[in-house]
Amino acid sequence: MAWSVGGTIAGRLGPRYRLALALARADRYPPGMKWTAWIGALALTACLPLDEDATDGGAGDAAASCADVICGGSARCEAGACVCNAGLERRGSDCVPAGPAVPADRTEALVCARWESEHRDVAPELDLPAGADACTPADLRPEGQDNAIRRTNLFRWLVGLAEVAYAPALLDGVQACAVVMNQLGTLSHDPPPGTRCYDPIQSAGQSNLAQGTGMADSVDLYVGDRGVDSLGHRRWVLEPGLSGTAFGQRGVFGCMDVSQVGEARVLPDAVAWPPAGFVPVAAAEGRWSIGFFGADPGDALALEIDRGAGFAAADFDVLDRGYGRATRTIAFDVPGAWRAGQRVEVRVSGMANRPDLEYAVQFTDCRF
């Protein structure tokens, strides 16, 4: 059964969930290691100071300042602060495997360790207050919101992008969005003001919307974007300039605000899904895409795919602009490639004012 958002056919419904496109447009906003080496990284490690009294920082205070600080097995205390051990880096309160910023330079062990460490479930994600009626927002558990942000940043790390932060100022809007979606029983970026539980602060028009899943798992759906011609959800989640977000949830309806888009700290030439390098087969499967940033690469693009028998020309679609700030985005299919052990090389040529883009994707089941 086809379905539409804003009068356009957006895709087909699966038996388990439905997605709606984030129609908010960009111009609305301002411009060979063993597994044992990673055991410590897979155990999430929080730094828990027992006493926050400050010292004057003098040399004589260094040892004393660590006396009341407990760091997990992946970190050590230095001058009153927990510092990650060698080979690990700080991610919030956790120490996780460090590695190259460029996806193609990462080892299989690194990618798999990061995936196993950060792609996890937290349940329940929310509670309903006692006596809550249909218009009462759910009480989101902090660990649920944190896990959704962590899931977002995992996918952004896979493609080589900077993290986004939790933006609490967006919470009321996405919570009101989720309440009205739950009341409608369907997804809409422009819910009628007369809808029961409608609140004008709702942010459906600037959010990714999902039905049939929780907050963290909605990110997998957004990135996969199966059946969504524009790949709009994916393009917002993997927008280099996205700096903050918040998730709202009521029942099986969720909203993810994607309005905090500004200048990216580092603007990549392109963002590909799946990205170069090792990719877990459990990651969000869908059409392949490449978003180009900076100068428009022009209309003379040529795409070639090599699955072991040499490069051969491949068809692709040029997607509409407006979902993030890519100057051009292409989408294409590589049937049967999303399996462990498969290697696919991609080459894009004929671009104006930039060299050819060539990269290889290697799928792994993370079993060694």
279-303 mean pLDDT: 96
Q: What is the dihedral of CA 324, 144, 248, 222, to 10 degrees?
A: 40
Mean pLDDT, the chain, integer: 82
pLDDT at 73: 59
250-277 mean pLDDT: 95
pLDDT at 4: 27
pLDDT tens digits for range 38-62: 222 222 222 223 233 332 334 445 4
CA distance 233 to 219: 9
3-state secondary structure the chain: CEEEECCEEEEECCCCCEEECCCCCHHHCCCCCCHHHHHHHHCCCCEEECCCCCCCCCHHHHHHHCCCEEECCCEEEECCEEEECCCEEEECCEEEECCCCCHHHCCHHHHHHHHHHHCCCCCCCEECCCCCCCCCCCEECHHHHHHHHHHHHHHHHHHCCCCCEECHHHHHHHHHHHHHHHHHCCCCCCCCCCCCCCCCCCCHHHEEEEECCCHHHHHHHHHHCCCCCCCHHHHHHCCCCEEEECEEEECCEEEEECCEECCCCCCCCEEEECCCEEEECCCCCCCEEEEECCCCCCCCCEEEEECCCCCEEECCEEECCECECCCEEEEECCCCCCCCCCEEEEEEECCCCCCCEEEEEEEECCCC
184-209 mean pLDDT: 96
Residue 79 and residue 62 in contact, taking contact as beta carbons nearer than 8 Å: yes
- Rounded to a whole number of angstroms, the distance between the first and last alpha carbons of the chain is 41
The upper half-sphere exposure of residue 190, i.e. CA atoms within 13 Å in the direction of its Cβ, equals: 6
Q: Beta-carbon neighbour count of residue 299 at 10 Å?
A: 9
147-151 mean pLDDT: 95
Backbone angles phi, psi at 325, to 5 degrees: -115, 20
Residue 231: name the closest of 347, 344, 157, 321 by CA: 321
Residue 135: name the closest of 205, 199, 209, 191 by CA: 199
Between these two residues, 119 and 13, which has the higher pLDDT value?
119
CA distance 206 to 242: 13
Between these two residues, 70 and 331, which has the higher pLDDT value?
331
Give CA 66 to chain center in angstroms.
36
pLDDT tens digits for range 214-225: 999 999 999 999
85 burial (CB, 10 Å; 0-12 / 13-18 / 19+) is: middle
Answer yes or no: is pLDDT of 303 > 70: yes
pTM (2 decimals)?
0.78
Give the orientation angle of helix 142-159 with respect to helix 108-118, to 10 degrees.
Answer: 160
CA distance 336 to 203: 38
Tokens found for residue 107: 């080892």
pLDDT tens digits for range 340-351: 999 999 999 999
CA distance 305 to 330: 14
204-212 mean pLDDT: 97
Confidence of residue 92 (pLDDT cuts 50, 70, 90): low
Confidence of residue 93 (pLDDT cuts 50, 70, 90): low
Q: Please, what are the domains in the chain?
A: 2-31+121-261 (3.40.33.10), 35-97 (no CATH), 270-364 (2.60.40)
Between these two residues, 358 and 123, which has the higher pLDDT value?
358
pLDDT at 86: 63
Share above pLDDT 90 across residues of the chain, in percent, rounded to a whole number: 67
